[in-house]
Amino acid sequence: MNAEIIAVGTELLLGDILNTNAQYLSQKLAELGFTVHFQSVVGDNPQRLEQLATQAKQRSDIVIYSGGLGPTADDLTKETVAKVYGDPLQFDQQQFERIRGFFHACSRNMPENNRKQAMVPAFGETLDNANGTAPGALFRDGEKIAILLPGPPKEMIPMFEQQAIPRLQKLQKAVLVSRVLRVYGVGESALEDMVGHLLEGENPTAALYAKPAEVIIRITAKAATSQQAEEMCGKTAQQFYDILGDCIYAEADQTLQQTVVQVLAEKGLKVSTAESCTGGLLSQRITAVPGSSQVFECGVCSYANTIKEKLLGVPADVLEQYGAVSPQTAIAMARGSKALSGADIAVGITGIAGPDGGTPEKPVGLVYISVANGETIWVYKLLLAHRNRETVRFAASQKALDMVRRVALGLEMKDCQCFEM
Amino acid sequence: MNAEIIAVGTELLLGDILNTNAQYLSQKLAELGFTVHFQSVVGDNPQRLEQLATQAKQRSDIVIYSGGLGPTADDLTKETVAKVYGDPLQFDQQQFERIRGFFHACSRNMPENNRKQAMVPAFGETLDNANGTAPGALFRDGEKIAILLPGPPKEMIPMFEQQAIPRLQKLQKAVLVSRVLRVYGVGESALEDMVGHLLEGENPTAALYAKPAEVIIRITAKAATSQQAEEMCGKTAQQFYDILGDCIYAEADQTLQQTVVQVLAEKGLKVSTAESCTGGLLSQRITAVPGSSQVFECGVCSYANTIKEKLLGVPADVLEQYGAVSPQTAIAMARGSKALSGADIAVGITGIAGPDGGTPEKPVGLVYISVANGETIWVYKLLLAHRNRETVRFAASQKALDMVRRVALGLEMKDCQCFEM
C-alpha cells in the first residue's frame, strides 16, 4: 500500500521550524511496509489544503496529516479533510470535558475557541491525545484513509505510536525489514561499479546513499514474517560483504568513531592523537562517544611548529628539510604522540585545510595521516582538490579513524607507506 | 510572486535524511520577499516527478528543486524538469572538462556515468558548482522559472547564495532587507521578557530564533529601496543594542568562533586550550575558522589525569584534594596551558559530559571553565541538568569562546570567580 505525508502550517513554509515530523513518519511508515510517494507542506490556507487533500486522496491509500488541529481560526485541517472524505463533524461531550479538564489541571479557564477541538468525525474515529488538548482523527472513504495528528512532536509521536500504528498494522499483510551497511574507503561511483548488479533486485531492494566521507547501503526485504524478511536481507548483505569485505566497517546507525571506540575497548587498546590541520576534530570525534575515556589517552593540537618540536619532539631538521606538511612530519608527530602518552596506537595528522596556504607542490587539500603501533608506522597521503576547509578536515579525520580501526584489527593498510617504528 | 520548493530523493521519503534544504530555502525565499505556498518531496521516480513538476509549474511562479542531479541512473531531476519547461539538454564540453578535472585533481578517473552531469539547458542557464561535480540549472517557460540545485547542503547552499539569489532579486520590485543579531548569554525566555515589546512591529518585523547555546534576532524591513529598508532595520537594531549591549556578539552569519578569531587577530593576541570533557571540541571550533593559525597556539586534550599532570603541570595534590572536575583543576589547566604555549590567553575546561560518571555532588552537566590572561584568571561554573553529552560539550565550548571574547575585549565577566595569576 502507498502512503503520503502532509504537514500543515505556515510556520513550516516560512522556514521557522524544521519538518522533523515528515522524517519521523517516513521512517515509521517504511518500517510498517508502506511505500511513501510524497511528503508535502501546505500553509494554513483552506483552498490550497483542500486541493492538496483531494489530490492526495486520489493518489494514495493512506494520507497522514500533522498540524492544524489547534483551537485558532486558521487551524482548519480537521474541517477541510472531513469535507474531502465526506464525513461531517459532530460535537463530542466527552472530548469537551477532557479538554476542559486539561485547562482545569493548569488552573486556567478554557478559552471559548478550544470548543472546536471537541468536534470529532461522525463516521470515522477519534484518536485520544494524552499530551495536549487536540484529539486526532481518522477519516475513511471506501478503502481510502486519512489520519490526522497534532503538529507538536511531543503530542504527535505518542499519538502515532499508540493509536495510529495498531490501526496501520491491521492494514498490512507483509512485513518489511531493513538492514544498513556502512562503507568507508570506496566512493559512490566506484561502489556502483563494484556492486551495481546487486542494486537491481526488486525484493530485497538495495540502494546506495552518499554521506560525508562514507557511503551507506540500505537493503530492504518484504515477506510474510519478519524472520523470512531478515533471512532475505541476510543473503543480500552477504553478497555485499563478499565484494566489499572489511570496507564495511559497521551496520545500522554505528558511526566510524563509535566503531573505533568499540574495537579499541574490545582489544584493550588506547589511542592518542597529534593533530595539526584537523585542530582537534579527531580527538573531538573520538571523545564524543560515551565511554571513550577508556580508550582515549590524550590529544595534542600543535598548530605552531614550536609546539610540534616542544611537545611532540618533532626534530627541527625534519621541519626544516621536509616542511610541516610532509610524511616525515606526520610520522614524527605520531611517534611523538606515542612517546608522550604511552598509548598503544598513536595518530599524527598534518596538512593544508585551506582556503589559503597552498602551493603548487603542496596544494590545499593535501593531508598526511600517520598511524603507529608498537612495531610499525604507516603513512597515507590524502589529496582532496576543490574541497572546502570543513570537508578536507572531516575527510582527514575519517581516514584517520579508519586507519586506527585497521591497525587495531590487523587489517590490510591499503595505499599506505609502511616503516618500522 | 509565489514560489514552491521540491526536494527530490527517495532517501527523504524513507526518512533516512532530514529535509533541512526545505527549511533553508523557505527562510531565504521569505527574506527575498517570495511567498512559499508548498514544499514537496518526491522520490527518484520520473512519472511522479513529472506529474508534480507540471503541477508546480502551473501554480507557482518560481519552483526551486534540490537533489537528483547526481551521476547515477536514478538521478533524473534535470531530464524531467527540462521536458516540463520544453528546454532540451545539450552536452557542454566546458562542464565536462570541469567535472573530469574534479576527478583528475583527486588522482581518480572519471566514471563514465558522470558524463550525464555535463548535459546543460540549451535555452536556460547553467549554474556552476564550486563544491561538487553536478552543475545546477535554470529553466524558463514564459514567466515561469525553475531553478535546480544539487541535494547535498554543502553544494546547494553556496550555489543558491552565489547564483540563485542574484537572479531572484532581479525579479522582485519591493526590497526586503534583513539584519541578524547574534546573542550569547541570555536564554530565549529571558530574552523575550527583555525585548518582547520590540517583537510586535509589522515593518520592520523582529523575531527570535533559539539556536544551540545562543539566540538569533532577525529584523526584516520592506521598502522601495534597499537603502530605506536598511535604515529601518538599523533603527530597530539600535533598540536591541540599547537593551542587550555586549551580549550581541556579532551580526549576520558570523559564528562565535569566527568572532573570537577576528577579535584575537585584531588585538594581536594568541590563545591556547586545555580540554578535558570537551575533548578537543573547543580547539576544533577555533581551528575550523580560516586564518586561525594566526591566533591559535596549541591545544591539549588531557583525558587522563597523568596527562593533566605531565603535560599541563596540574599538581597531583589539586587533583587528589579537589578532584579532576573542580574549579581548582580548571584553573590549573588554564595556567598549565598558558605556561606551555606562551599564549596571551589560555583556557582550561573540565567537567562531566555524561551519560555516566555523575555523582550527587558532581552531576552530569557540571563543567568548570577557566580563562587566564597575563594578570587574572577567571572561572565559571556551568551546570546543565538533563542534557545529553553533545549538548553539554557544545554549551561548554560556547561558554569558553564567549569568555575568551570578553577577556580579549576587556568586557565584564558576569558570574565568574576571579583570581590573580
CB-neighbour burial class of residue A75 (10 A; exposed 0-12, middle 13-18, buried 19+): buried
pLDDT exceeds 90 at position B237: yes
- H-helix or E-strand containing B408? helix B389-409
Q: What 3-state DSSP class applies to B121?
A: strand
**B114, A290: Cβ pair inside 8 Å?**
no
Fold (topology level) of B256-420: Maf protein (3.90.950)
C-alpha span between B151 and A416 (Å, rounded): 33
Inter-chain CB proximity B297 and A290 less than 8 Å: no
Q: Where are the domains of chain A?
A: 2-171, 175-251, 257-420
Q: Right CATH number for B175-251 from 1.10.150.570, 3.30.70.2860, 3.40.50.1820, 3.40.50.2300?
A: 3.30.70.2860
Amino acid, res. A281: L
Q: Quick: pLDDT tens for A145-201.
A: 999 999 999 899 999 999 999 999 889 877 778 899 999 999 888 898 999 999 999
Does the pLDDT of residue A71 top 90, yes or no? Answer: no
CATH topology of domain B2-169: Molybdenum Cofactor Biosythetic Enzyme; Chain A (3.40.980)
Closest CA to A39 of B39, B81, B25, B53: B39
Query: How many angstroms separate the CA atoms of B397 and B382, rounded?
Result: 11
- Among B10, B280, B311, whose Cβ lies nearest the Cβ of A280? B280
**Nearest chain A residue to B2, by CA:** A13
How many Å lie between the alpha carbon of B405 and the closest alpha carbon of chain A? Answer: 19
pTM of the model: 0.80
Return the residue matching grid coordinates 537572479.
B167
pLDDT of A108 over the 80 cut:
no
Helix (H) or strand (E) holding A259: helix A256-267
CATH T-level fold of A257-420: Maf protein (3.90.950)
C-alpha closest to that of A28 among A211, A153, A143, A124: A153
Q: From the list B37, B290, B307, which residue is nearest A355 (CB)?
A: B290
The set of cell numbers assigned to B51 is 506529474
At the fourth CATH level, the homologous superfamily of domain A2-171 is: MoaB/Mog-like domain (3.40.980.10)
- Average of per-residue pLDDT values in chain B: 94
Pick among B20, B24, B26 to test the A interface (most A CBs inside 10 A): B26
Question: Taking 80 as the threshold, does the pLDDT of residue B45 lie above it?
Answer: yes
Chain A residues with CB under 8 Å of B388 CB are none
Query: Of B4, B6, B12, B16, which to mutate for an interface test with A (greatest number of A Cβ within 10 Å)?
Result: B16
Alpha-carbon gap, residue A289 to A278, rounded angstroms? 18
Interface test with B, best of A21, A39, A209 (most B CBs within 10 A): A39
pLDDT the model gives residue B78:
97
CA A352, distance to chain mean position in Å, is: 29
- Nearest residue of B to residue A292, measured between CA atoms: B303
ipTM here: 0.78
Cβ-based contacts of B279 with chain A (< 8 Å): 280, 283-284, 286-288, 292, 296, 299
- Per-residue pLDDT band for B178 (boundaries 50, 70, 90) equals confident
Q: How far apart are CA B358 and CA B366, in angstroms?
A: 9
Q: Each residue of A222-271: pLDDT tens digit?
A: 898 889 999 999 999 999 999 999 999 999 989 999 999 999 999 999 99
| Cross-chain Cβ contact B307/A281 below 8 Å | no
Nearest CA in chain A to B110: A189
**CB half-sphere exposure, A28, CA atoms < 13 A:** 21
How do strand B345-351 and strand B366-372 relate by DSSP bridges?
A: antiparallel
Q: Same fold for the domain at A2-171 and the one at A175-251?
A: no
Percentage of chain A lying above the pLDDT 90 cut? 79
**Residues whose CB is less than 8 angstroms from the CB of residue B12 and which lie 6 or more positions away in sequence, other chains included:** A23, A26, A39, B19, B41, B43, B67
